[in-house]
Structure 1
Amino acid sequence: MSGYPLETVYLFVLIISGSLTFLYILLSDILDGILDVPDHPLFSPQLILSFFTVFSAEGYLFEKYTGMPSTLIGLLSAGIALIAVLLLHFFVFIPLRSAEASLHYTEADLEGSLAKVIVPVPADGFGEILIERTSGAVAKPAQSLKNEEIATGTEVVIIKMENGVATVAKHDPYHI
């Protein structure tokens, strides 16, 4: 290619694709917002950049350390890169997308949840509750449904969420 050894071309592509991958990681949210590109799972920028990074790295290493023909090196590098990108897609990116979606909750999702009082709820005021979720614990201000005092450590059920404040009642596991 243009008089340069293939080893140099692979190295040049590796540097460029590695740099673009790093920049994409840093700026992906901004770029996704500006460009508004439709999201196709197999043709995402991170997978394309990963393919070129792995392809050029393998090509460089094979050219430098083996005596295989360049055509075989190109095909072998492309195969390894394709396998690496598919593994990355199925075992990293897909689980990350589903984890990202499961961390989000709305106030309506909290209604009916059990919580523990961490700051006593006075009869006519506000206390605080702690809601244990799979993604972590969430603390919310709370008021009593029946205007009764609720002590610290009491298990409560969230009846209603309104403007970030939980209306709670004492939880009685034996009463349905």
Structure 2
Amino acid sequence: MTLFGVDIQTIYLTTLIISGCITVLYIFFGDVLDAVGEGIAFLNPTLILAFIVFLSSSGYILELVTPFSSLFILFLSISFALIMDVLLNFFVLIPLSSAEESLAYTEESLKGRVGKIIISIPIDGFGEIVIDSKSGMISKPAASYENTPISEGTDVLVLEIEQGVLYVIPYDLDSEMTISN
């Protein structure tokens, strides 16, 4: 089949090469286009480019390999591209967008966590605590909840957070192990 005097295989291949090049450029300069897509959520440039790549690649391969009519191949390629686009969106793009947010923490999420004192807490004073998290070590200022001194190296439990300061009490990890076992 020809379209405007050009073979349909050539159109598929040209579209694949051009959309592939635009995709590579989008990888490098995509932050500029992300601002455009903020207002219109369904016009995600990643999904549009992926749809065009899937459509043109499957159309080109099916034109080369199968004896089907070009119109049937076009409809088959469109349905394949739609399915692949939906799978790409739900199994890659949505988890990636939420994974970026999951690396951050809120101060409220630190309540109930166990950390280690790295700078001793004096009476009526402040020290420093580190807490292990998925994204690394979190270091925050700490004060004693019971207004008692807590020495360096002590495991502590975070009870409250006020103005960025974690209020902690000493915590024995061994007693928790014997209770849970």
- TM-score, normalisation: structure 1: 0.79
CA distance in 2, matches of 1:114, 1:65: 60
Cα offset for 1:45?
Answer: 1.4
Verify: 1:12 aligned to 2:14, yes or no: yes
Verify: 1:149 aligned to 2:124, yes or no: no
Deviations 1:86-126 (A, max 9, x none): 1112222222233333333233432x231221524242453
Q: 1:36 to 1:140 in 2, by over 3 A?
A: same
Query: After TM superposition, where is structure 1 displaced by more than 4 Å over at least 4 residues in a row?
Result: none
Q: 1:36 to 1:3 in 2, by over 3 A?
A: closer
Match for residue 25 of structure 2? 23
CA distance in 2, matches of 1:49, 1:74: 17
Please tell me whether the aligned partners of residues 117 and 128 of structure 1 are also in contact (alpha carbons under 8 angstroms). Answer: yes
CA distance in 2, matches of 1:19, 1:64: 22
Please tell me whether the aligned partners of residues 159 and 169 of structure 1 are also in contact (alpha carbons under 8 angstroms). Answer: no
5 Å-filtered alignment, 1:10-159, equals 10-33=12-35, 35=36, 37-41=38-42, 43-110=43-110, 112-117=111-116, 119-123=118-122, 124-132=125-133, 135-145=134-144, 146=147, 148-159=149-160
Cα offset for 1:53?
Answer: 0.3
CA distance in 1, matches of 2:40, 2:153: 47
Unaligned 5+ segments in structure 2 are: 176-181
Which piece of structure 1 moves more, 19-28 or 61-70? 19-28
- TM-score, normalisation: structure 2: 0.77
Unaligned 5+ segments in structure 1 are: none
Count of residues in Structure 1 that have an aligned counterpart in Structure 2 = 168
CA distance in 2, matches of 1:37, 1:156: 41
Q: 1:6 to 1:36 in 2, by over 3 A?
A: closer
Please tell me whether the aligned partners of residues 119 and 129 of structure 1 are also in contact (alpha carbons under 8 angstroms). Answer: yes
- The two structures, once aligned, show a CA RMSD in angstroms of 2.6
Cα offset for 1:143?
Answer: 2.8
- Counterpart of 2:6 in 1: which secondary structure? coil
